[in-house]
Amino acid sequence: MQKHVKYEQAIKTKYPEQVVIAIAKDKKGKANPVTLGWTMIASGEPPMMAIAVAKGHYSIKTIGHSKCFTIAFPTSQMADAALFFGSRSGRDVDKFGEFHCKTEPAKKIDSVLLSDAVANFECTLESQTPAGDHIIFVGKIIASHTNTKPKKRLYTLGTGHKLGSVS
């Protein structure tokens, strides 16, 4: 049976929610990672993924500048990196400089991959659409990578940035 409640209460039923780290370079060439839970696959052929980024975030500028971005699936061991990349702004800090996280150059776009991630997807910017206080960026996936060892993805398990793996 359903009960009419406030959105803020109803949305607490969403967990576990997947976590990705999107990475785009700013105009100075600094790769800027941001942690996002609002993401989905958007097309099968050609493959595309969508991310929703808050309008004030520095990533709006980095993606707007680069016209490309990486979407990485962090592993369940990468909770600290995900929390750091999600709580600091690339306007103020060089996130990869302050929090060590192994990266390597992307193959087909001017971005980087997270070497220890479950998988990395190289995307060229296909479209951007405003949605309330966010912008939806759709990227066409032009190269894909997986970890050479099987790894588990990271999820948000509940309110208060509780991160971990699911089974």
Toward a second copy, which CB reaches closer, 87 or 129?
129
Least separation in angstroms between residue 75's CB and a second copy is 10
Q: How many CA atoms does the CB half-sphere of 65 hold within 13 Å? A: 17
Binding residue for a second copy, selected from 19, 31, 34, 50, defined by CB under 8 A: 50
Q: Is the N-terminal amide bond of 46 cis, ω within 30° of 0?
A: yes
Count of residues touching a second copy (by CB under 8 A): 64
Instruction: State the Cα–Cα distance between residues 135 and 128, nearest whole angstrom.
Output: 7
Least separation in angstroms between residue 28's CB and a second copy is 25
In this structure, the strands spanning 17-18 and 48-54 are unpaired
Residue 17 binds a second copy, judged by CB under 8 A: yes
Instruction: State the Cα–Cα distance between residues 42 and 152, nearest whole angstrom.
Output: 22
The CA distances from residue 83 to 60, 71, 88, 115, in Å, are: 19, 16, 9, 18
Binding residue for a second copy, selected from 77, 87, 89, 115, defined by CB under 8 A: 115
Instruction: State the Cα–Cα distance between residues 98 and 85, nearest whole angstrom.
Output: 10
Binding residue for a second copy, selected from 28, 29, 92, 148, defined by CB under 8 A: 148
Residue numbers of the site for a second copy (CB under 8 A)? Answer: 1-7, 9-11, 13-18, 37-48, 50, 52, 54, 73, 104, 107, 113, 115, 117-121, 126-127, 129, 131-134, 136, 138, 140-141, 143-149, 151, 153, 155, 166-167
